[in-house]
Amino acid sequence: MIRPEEIKMSAEETGKWGMVMDQDICTGCQACVVACAMENNITFVGEEDSGYGRSMHWIRIERFWEGEYPEVKMTPNQPMLCQQCGSATCEPVCPAFATVHSQAEQLNLQVYNRCVGTRYCANNCPYQVRSFNWRDYERPEPLSNQFNPDVTVRRRGVMEKCTFCIQRIHKAQDKAKSEGREVVDGEFTTACAQACPASAITFGRVDDPESLVSQLAKKRGHGIKHLEELGTLPNVTYFKGG
């Protein structure tokens, strides 16, 4: 049991990578969802499996209604992805240590070759952002050429989730190191942030006060971290009604 004062103490420590979502300018166009699927080799499960609730997305656009039909008012669109919690509820329940916390990047990792598919992590995730490979989904010839070689193609029986495009993080770090410098803010971004036509998603270092995410968070004032009261220390901040 975590006491509230402990949460407050650890909440002062920030993670490394973080994201800022501006719900006021998000149009809900789903470009991020498509870009994420392309970048991370996420399969299209088809109509039937989708009907069973087995659709696979690492990011989704949530929409809610206020009021009774027909006088409904739509609330701002809410892109929901893995919040890369500092104290993640998915991690301690994994019996195979397949979902572990990266000490180097301060991210929640999913190690596919360790995962045995108990799905315990997905059941314990308060954000419901993990998806499970219920089948091996075939990709016929021309489609198989679109796989991103930097990302593992997952097989059946493996859990997966948003990685904050860790392959892009590593690529940028590798490039910076080969040029003998540090990674510059804005040098790279995640697939969803890159695809967003309204620039509603911003990605960067939250531990650097000069970075764009920190500046945006400061400018917009009070942001919301979803289900923060659970003590998960999410690294994604949402802004609306600014």
Partner 1 sequence: MIKRLFDWLRQPLGLIAVGITLLAVFSVAAYGISLTQQAPEQPVQFPHQTHVAFGIQCLYCHPGAAKGPSAGIPAQAKCWACHNQIAKTETSLLLAPLKQAVISGKPLEWVPVAQVPDFVQFNHRAHIAAGQNCENCHGDMSKQNVAENPQVFNMGFCLDCHKQVAGDDHEKLVKLVDCGTCHY
One residue of 89, 102, 124, 215 binding partner 1 per CB under 8 A: 102
Where in 70-135 does DSSP place strands (E)?
73-74, 78-81, 99-101, 108-110, 131-132
The reply to whether 152 sits near partner 1 by the rule CB under 8 A is: yes
The reply to whether 181 sits near partner 1 by the rule CB under 8 A is: no
From 56-64, 86-94, 149-157, 214-222, give the range in contact with partner 1 by CB under 8 A: 149-157
From 8-16, 47-55, 104-112, 212-220, give the range in contact with partner 1 by CB under 8 A: 104-112
Helices (H), 25-178: 31-39, 47-51, 120-124, 141-144, 166-178
Whole-angstrom distance, CA of residue 133 vs CA of residue 43: 9
How would you class 184 by CB atoms within 10 Å of its CB: exposed for 0-12, middle for 13-18, buried for 19 or more?
Answer: exposed
One residue of 34, 61, 111, 172 binding partner 1 per CB under 8 A: 111
H-run or E-run covering 213: helix 212-220
Minimum gap (Å) between residue 41 Cβ and partner 1: 10
DSSP per-residue codes, 166-190: HHHHHHHHHHHHHTTSPPPTTS---
The reply to whether 172 sits near partner 1 by the rule CB under 8 A is: no
From 19-27, 67-75, 146-154, 186-194, give the range in contact with partner 1 by CB under 8 A: 146-154
The reply to whether 112 sits near partner 1 by the rule CB under 8 A is: yes
Binding region for partner 1 (CB under 8 A): 100, 102-105, 107, 109, 111-113, 150-153, 163, 166-167, 170, 174, 177-178
